[in-house]
Structure 1
Amino acid sequence: MLTLGDRVDRFRFFLRDRDGKFSDAFDAVLAGAGVEVLLSPPRSPKANAFAERWVGTIRRECTDRILILNERHLRAVLDTYTNHYNRHRPHQSLQQQPPQAVEADQPAAVIPFNTPVRRTQLLGGLINEYEHAA
């Protein structure tokens, strides 16, 4: 609750699994702030599959490969990666287009093989973004 500060009143629900690391005191603090705690169904690991997939992806591709110094650094890293994930990283389910592609309505143009490519390094070279040079 310390990091949420005055924003805790914006939340109505907190969805969590039934892991033992969440104590009754944890639930009591949230209830005291007016947030209702909802538990995922027992023995249903896929109940929160979208969140689990996102956490796994960001850990594998980013945070497991970089030393996080403090909360400010973590927020900067997560913001940079989220922008990369949504605007540049290809997704198989979207025909290798990012979710927020600039030209989402048009199919990708076929570009000749010998076209120059420009590389942009993010997070000190941990992530590279490539685009065709003009």
Structure 2
Amino acid sequence: MSSVIVSLLHNVTRKLLTVPSVLLRRGTAKDAELLVLRHENAVLRRQRPDQSATSSPTGSGLPPCPR
């Protein structure tokens, strides 16, 4: 039972310590993260060419919303 409590406290502490780090990051770190996410997105698009963004009228690769 005590190992469960210790594990829970550890996870809560980790979550609480990551909040300030996210809020206090500099703009360059945020820009770098966006660059990495865009690269990952491009790689995933290349792996699934059947679902290209050009096939949809919205350009998002998603089907159009019903109106």
TM-score (norm 1): 0.18
Task: Select the structure that is richer in strand.
Answer: 1
**TM-score normalised by length of structure 2:** 0.32
Higher helix proportion (structure 1 or 2): 2
